[in-house]
Amino acid sequence: MVDTKVVLSGLELDNPIIPASGTFGFGKEFKDFYDINILGSFSFKGTTLEERFGNPTPRIAQTPMGMLNAVGLQNPGVKHVVEHELPEMKKYFHKKVIANVSGFSIDEYAKTCEILDKEEQVGILEVNISCPNVHNGGMAFGTDAKNALEVTKAVKKVTTKPVYIKLSPNVTDIVSIAKAVEDGGADGISLINTLLGMRINLKNRKPILANKTGGFSGSAILPVALRMVYQVYEAVKIPLIGMGGITTAEDVIEMMLAGATAVQVGAANLVNPYACKEIIEDLPRVMEKYRINSLKEIIGGAHNG
């Protein structure tokens, strides 16, 4: 019998599969497809201090082996999440969740995290300093090591739960940003967020997205994500949640060998609502195929050669 359990900063997960923020809502959109309690956890919809409508439409564009999105952090705001979404979530998801937080200033990040830190259901705070689809926020903090350090320090000052910083791949040196957030006291790192991309409509010769650019996700970005997880694992001592293009149980094993303790599945949920369920069910078979008894034993295994 294989062991699929992993541990993130003291939080034990039945398996390493976590739907990524922005692709799973607050879980209720998927609970009628299958019992989502089979998941290790899930990262709920990116939450800001105030309600946000998001970007104008069109917000989504197809690409070969992936998609572009420029949703722009549409969400009901942290007050609504605490008063309505989390109490409702208790009825259908009985494990700790990951609270994904975004902001437009260091103070906003800190205030939102401080509020969510008090919620019993929240096991980990995932601070998104890497959203490429909003102006004056998100990625503005994630592409500068000093800003990333300051956000991390501010959030850690007002929270007690593990804080994972979600990093942008749209940088020249992912390692320097990772080291900065570790220095700031981060308990872990999530990487990577989407790559910045674009599509153009050949008929009107204009960008398809109203925002012009958007976040590129899907299976095509897996090699980039693997490379960055591999590099960061060698540079820091805190655990990593790897994401970017994961669609199969084999991808999960590969990401864990690169250095991830757990993985997040994003765009695949939007193509196939059963994506995470199918990966979880196939994981024991793939582990047996590659003679893996416990997933804990393979974390960072590609660095041992």
The per-residue pLDDT for 61 is 96
39: phi then psi, degrees, rounded to nearest 5: -70, 155
pLDDT digits (tens, 9 = 90+) for 84-123: 999 999 999 999 999 999 998 999 999 999 999 999 999 9
The catalytically annotated residue of 131, 171, 236, 257 is: 131
Cα separation, 85 vs 27, whole angstroms: 10
Asked if pLDDT for residue 305 goes beyond 80, the answer is no
Q: Of all residues in the chain, what percent carry a pLDDT higher than 70? A: 96
Tokens 């409702």 correspond to what residue? 88
The per-residue pLDDT for 94 is 98
pLDDT digits (tens, 9 = 90+) for 63-77: 999 999 999 999 999
The per-residue pLDDT for 141 is 75
Mean pLDDT value across residues 258-269: 98
Q: What is the dihedral of CA 296, 256, 67, 20, to 10 degrees?
A: 30
Mean pLDDT value across residues 195-210: 97
**DSSP structure string for 272-285:** -TTHHHHHHHHHHH
Label residue 183 exposed, middle or buried (CB < 10 Å: 0-12, 13-18, 19+).
Answer: middle
Asked if pLDDT for residue 247 goes beyond 80, the answer is yes
Sequence-distant (6+) residues with CB within 8 A of 235 are 175, 178, 179
Asked if pLDDT for residue 285 goes beyond 90, the answer is yes
The per-residue pLDDT for 221 is 98
Q: What is the mean pLDDT of the chain?
A: 95
The per-residue pLDDT for 139 is 56
Alpha carbons within 13 angstroms on the beta-carbon side of residue 14 total: 13
The per-residue pLDDT for 235 is 98
Q: Is residue 54 within 8 Å of 31, Cβ to Cβ?
A: no
pLDDT digits (tens, 9 = 90+) for 121-180: 999 999 999 765 555 555 567 788 999 999 999 999 999 999 999 999 999 999 999 999
Q: Is residue 178 within 8 Å of 189, Cβ to Cβ?
A: yes
| Residues β-bridged to residue 208 | none
Alpha carbons within 13 angstroms on the beta-carbon side of residue 113 total: 31
Look up 276 and say whether it is catalytic: no
| Residues β-bridged to residue 127 | 101, 165
Question: All domains of the chain, ordered by start, with CATH?
Answer: 6-303 (3.20.20.70)
Strands 195-197 and 188-191, bridge-based pairing: unpaired
Q: Of all residues in the chain, what percent carry a pLDDT higher than 90? A: 93
